[in-house]
């Protein structure tokens, strides 16, 4: 049975769910699936990197009085666009609550009611904004089939929402971030003062679930040991509003003896080539999250030969082993995070073991295999019809 599928995502920027959507769509296309990417963004724009997959973008809200208004406007824009597109696809696969709400609205009241909606729940956020809390809950309850990227989240969806789900793992392209030459590596490091200092890399915004505050505290402790590393932060802020946490975390830097612009360098969102170059130029990935859906950044770092210091949370334990392919200090413990980072920065034998361990993990997570499992599920959903 042939079919046409639309992969839906609320952004074109390099956030975890968007990276997943783009990579999955490309793997599906490579397997002969009639697939298109549908997102919110400038109508004449593009995703954060070029792709061979056909792209349809609907207008993203340019401004809104509040985060609630932005959520409502985003759902409305996606739903309006999907209503016009719906006759050209057989199945909608959403990667987030914004597009899931839009897809189920079209399914239930659009010109072609009954089109099945599949949703990948990457993780469940601790939202504080009323609109996002409601959006997230309904986007779990309403779709026809739920997918997750870890056993941990399958258990949560069953226990807290009463919904069954299928685990379909993330993938990683081992060739996405090729080696860089010595001159490029030296130039990147020098640009942040890392020509004479160790360079730690982290990816993501200043958020509670990223463990940012504890990471900064660990960085301060490392300075006290004489290592004096610089932390490079790539990526921006997600849809939720963590401005209070971000402002408080940055305001505490002077008390920690840290300077923004010297010890912590925020580079924001960068293009794919630059992201890969930083993976290759840094000395270690510092990723002490308190909550993740899977942790795709960890796989990307491993594929780029970068040692990983993450955290001892359930999703990481599904594919990481402390001391073998990563170091997993206790969640939220700055002293343990600092100790793990110090070990990676000073123990060459440990670095080699972690890199070799990462090389054993990466081949287990290919996008082609992930796409194959998605295709099986799409066939099941289409054969069963909407319940």
Q: In whole angstroms, what is the distance from residue 325 CA to residue 305 CA? A: 11
Q: What pLDDT sits at residue 130?
A: 82
Q: At what angle do helices 67-85 and 130-141 cross, to 10 degrees?
A: 40
User: Mean pLDDT over residues 292-302, rounded?
Assistant: 93
CB 254 within 8 A of CB 377: no
Query: What are the phi and psi torsion angles at 267 (to 5°)?
Result: -100, -10
Query: What are the phi and psi torsion angles at 150 (to 5°)?
Result: -155, 155
- The residue written with tokens 């019809």 in the block is 385
Q: Which fold has domain 182-364?
A: Rossmann fold (3.40.50)
* 371: its two tokens: 């796409």
Q: What pLDDT sits at residue 357?
A: 98
Same fold for the domain at 4-171+366-384 and the one at 182-364?
yes
Contacts 24+ apart (CB under 8 A), 349-352: 350/307, 351/307
Confidence of residue 387 (pLDDT cuts 50, 70, 90): very low
CB 169 within 8 A of CB 27: no
Residue 376 has pLDDT above 50, yes or no: yes
Q: Tell me the pLDDT of the chain averaged across its residues.
A: 92
pLDDT digits (tens, 9 = 90+) for 28-39: 999 999 999 999
Domain residue extents for the chain: 4-171+366-384, 182-364
Q: What pLDDT sits at residue 56?
A: 94
The fraction of the chain above a pLDDT of 90, given in percent, is 76
Superfamily of domain 4-171+366-384: Glycogen Phosphorylase B; (3.40.50.2000)
Query: What are the phi and psi torsion angles at 348 (to 5°)?
Result: -65, -35
Q: What's the length of the chain?
A: 387
Classified as helix, coil or strand, 139 is helix
Q: In whole angstroms, what is the distance from residue 92 CA to residue 351 CA? A: 43
User: Mean pLDDT over residues 269-285, rounded?
Assistant: 94
> Rounded to whole angstroms, what are the CA distances from 379 to 32, 87, 115, 116, 141?
14, 18, 13, 11, 21
User: Mean pLDDT over residues 107-135, rounded?
Assistant: 84
Please give the helix or strand (H or E) that residue 40 lies within, else none: strand 34-40
pLDDT digits (tens, 9 = 90+) for 81-106: 999 998 899 999 999 999 999 999 99
């Amino acid at each position: 049975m042939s079919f046409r599928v639309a992969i839906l995502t609320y952004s074109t920027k390099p956030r975890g769910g968007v990276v997943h959507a783009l990579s999955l769509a490309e793997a599906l296309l490579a397997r002969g699936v009639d697939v298109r990417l549908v997102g919110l963004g400038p109508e004449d724009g593009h995703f954060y990197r070029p792709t061979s997959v056909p792209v349809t973008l609907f207008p993203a809200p340019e401004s809104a009085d509040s985060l609630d208004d932005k959520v409502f406007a985003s759902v409305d824009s996606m739903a309006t666009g999907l209503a016009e597109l719906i006759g050209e696809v057989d199945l909608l696969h959403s990667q987030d609550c914004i597009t899931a709400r839009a897809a189920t609205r079209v399914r239930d009241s659009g010109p072609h009611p009954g089109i099945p909606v599949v949703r990948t729940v990457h993780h469940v956020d601790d939202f504080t904004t009323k609109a996002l809390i409601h959006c997230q809950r309904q986007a779990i309850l309403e779709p026809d089939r739920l997918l997750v990227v870890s056993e941990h989240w399958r258990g949560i969806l069953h226990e807290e929402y009463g919904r069954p789900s299928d685990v379909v793992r993330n993938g990683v392209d081992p060739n996405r971030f090729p080696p860089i030459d010595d001159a490029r590596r030296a130039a990147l490091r020098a640009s942040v003062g890392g020509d004479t200092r160790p360079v730690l890399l982290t990816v993501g915004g200043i958020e509670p679930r990223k463990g940012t505050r504890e990471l900064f505290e660990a960085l301060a402790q490392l300075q006290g040991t004489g290592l004096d590393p610089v932390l490079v932060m790539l990526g921006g802020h997600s849809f939720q509003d963590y401005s209070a946490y971000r402002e408080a975390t940055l305001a505490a830097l002077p008390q920690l003896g840290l300077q923004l612009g010297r010890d912590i360098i925020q580079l924001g969102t960068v293009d794919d080539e630059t992201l890969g170059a930083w993976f290759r130029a840094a000395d270690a990935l510092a990723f002490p999250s308190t909550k993740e859906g899977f942790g795709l950044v960890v796989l990307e770092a491993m594929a780029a030969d970068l040692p990983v210091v993450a955290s001892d949370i359930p999703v990481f334990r599904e594919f990481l082993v402390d001391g073998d392919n990563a170091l997993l200090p206790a969640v939220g413990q700055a002293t343990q995070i600092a100790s793990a980072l110090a070990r990676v920065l000073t123990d060459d034998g440990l670095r080699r073991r972690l890199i070799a361990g990462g090389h054993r993990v990466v081949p287990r997570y290919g996008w082609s295999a992930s796409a194959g499992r998605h295709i099986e599920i799409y066939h099941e959903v289409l054969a069963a019809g909407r319940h």
